[in-house]
Structure formats: structure tokens, C-alpha cells
């Protein structure tokens, strides 16, 4: 399955009609929001991929952090926003470290892409994650 076939597969999952011609990245802006808040059905996105379990394992926690109550009104959040106030600073710091490490590894793996090596070097200089107070609590 090439990228265009995969793109058509993804568009078919959400009962949309694929555009004629080449499918660009713009066709998938906000795609994962369709599966909010539970993430139900998101596993089908990765079904044709060799590393499907790895991708799903990385994505599932994002849906787990959402509060289904936020999706019951006339309007819903535009982004994936967690509202749990019970997460410790150590846990948050760990998430920050994982994010920085993951981005650095990604940049190193794709050092041939313009700007990636510089980004990896910049990320390597981050030695501390600082948790800022929530808005309105400063």
C-alpha cells in the first residue's frame, strides 16, 4: 500500500469521499479529532501498517486523558486538552522529558531534512523541564 492508497483508506474510514487526484497532507488536518473523546475506532487507522501496535500504544493515552463530559454540550474543545488537576509535577516533568527526548530522536533520525540537525542540537541543550503555574494562578 503506497501513501496515496493509505490516504484513500483513511478518508474512507470516516465516510468521506476521497478527492480526485493526489491527496495532500491538508486532507488530514484535525483527523484524529473525529475519534474524540473515547478514541473508539482509532485502531483502524493503523490496521494496514506493520507497526500498528506501536502507533496505537503511543496514541491511546491521548484519548484516555480526555473528559467525556466536555463533549456533551453544544460546543466541544477544539484541541486535545487534559483537565486533570491531580497530576504531580514529577509526572508532568517526566512527560516533558519524554517529549523532548522523542523530538530529539526524531530530528536525529531525519538529519537529512533541512533544519533537523540544528533542531536536534538545540533540543540537546535542554537540561531542565520547568512546570509553570496554571493560567490564573500566577
Q: How many beta carbons lie within 10 A of that of residue 36, not counting itself?
A: 19
Statement to judge: residues 111 and 78 lie in one domain: no
Q: Give CA separation, 106 vs 12, 109, 114, 121, in Å.
A: 29, 5, 13, 12
Statement to judge: residues 72 and 24 lie in one domain: yes
Q: Region 96-118: what's the mean pLDDT?
A: 94
Give the burial class of 136: count Cβ atoms within 10 A of its Cβ; 0-12 exposed, 13-18 middle, 19 or more buried.
exposed
How many structural domains comprise the chain? 2
Statement to judge: residues 31 and 78 lie in one domain: yes
Among 53, 68, 84, where does a domain finish? 84
Statement to judge: residues 101 and 67 lie in one domain: no
By the 8 A CB rule, do 68 and 38 touch? yes
Q: Give CA separation, 3 vs 83, 102, 112, 116, in Å.
A: 35, 24, 21, 23
Residue 138, pLDDT > 60, answer no
Statement to judge: residues 67 and 14 lie in one domain: yes
Statement to judge: residues 73 and 129 lie in one domain: no
Statement to judge: residues 54 and 97 lie in one domain: no
Statement to judge: residues 66 and 104 lie in one domain: no
Domain range for residue 121? 87-138
pLDDT for 98 equals 94
> pLDDT per residue over 8-27, tens digit each?
999 999 888 888 889 988 88
Amino acid at each position: 500500500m503506497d501513501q496515496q492508497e493509505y490516504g484513500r483508506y483513511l478518508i474512507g474510514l470516516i465516510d468521506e469521499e476521497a478527492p480526485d487526484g493526489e491527496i495532500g497532507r491538508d486532507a488530514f488536518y484535525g483527523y484524529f479529532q473525529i475519534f474524540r473523546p473515547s478514541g473508539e475506532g482509532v485502531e483502524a487507522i493503523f490496521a494496514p501498517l506493520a507497526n500498528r501496535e506501536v502507533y496505537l500504544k503511543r496514541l491511546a493515552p491521548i484519548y484516555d486523558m480526555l473528559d467525556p463530559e466536555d463533549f456533551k454540550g453544544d460546543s466541544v474543545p477544539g484541541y486535545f486538552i487534559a483537565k486533570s488537576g491531580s497530576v504531580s509535577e514529577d509526572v508532568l516533568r517526566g512527560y516533558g522529558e519524554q517529549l523532548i527526548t522523542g523530538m530529539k530522536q526524531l530530528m536525529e533520525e531525519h538529519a537529512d531534512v533541512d533544519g533537523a540537525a540544528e533542531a536536534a542540537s538545540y533540543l540537546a541543550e535542554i537540561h531542565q523541564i520547568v512546570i509553570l503555574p496554571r493560567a490564573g494562578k500566577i
